[in-house]
Amino acid sequence: MKDKRPKNINPLTIRLPLTALVSIGHRISGIVVFLFIPLLLCGLGESLKSEAAFLDMRLWFQAAWVKVILWGFIAAFAFHFIAGLRHMLMDCHIGDSLKSGRVGAVMVLIATFVIAGLAAWCIGSVS
């Protein structure tokens, strides 16, 4: 028997619930954090070589584009951490109903925006 159901292969036309978007965002932010940690560790290693290397790294981190990238890493890390806590609570059957899952997803987004805003303020105030 031939399947006559319509096929929608465009992922941009599918309306996912907020909980699914937060879950997908958790995976994407994990990839971003995974890719940025080696760069930050290289910068840390370079800054620990000598005082001159530390001053060079300090100049790098004063550039506006580096501050934006650093803010992006902090925002991704905050989102990944908070969403990970949410997933661990759901593994313990805390907040795993539909309604509490939505509330948890909203709380993850609010907490991430607050932390990202604080990070932007802190990074912007450092000269």
- How far CA 58 is from CA of 6, 51, 62, 119, in Å, comes to 57, 10, 6, 18
Q: Is the separation of the CB atoms in 119 and 74 below 8 Å?
A: yes
Q: Which amino acid is at 115?
A: I
State yes or no: 93 annotated in a binding site: no
What is the distance in angstroms between the CA of the first residue and the CA of the last residue of the chain? Answer: 69
Annotated binding site: 80
Annotated binding site for heme: 80
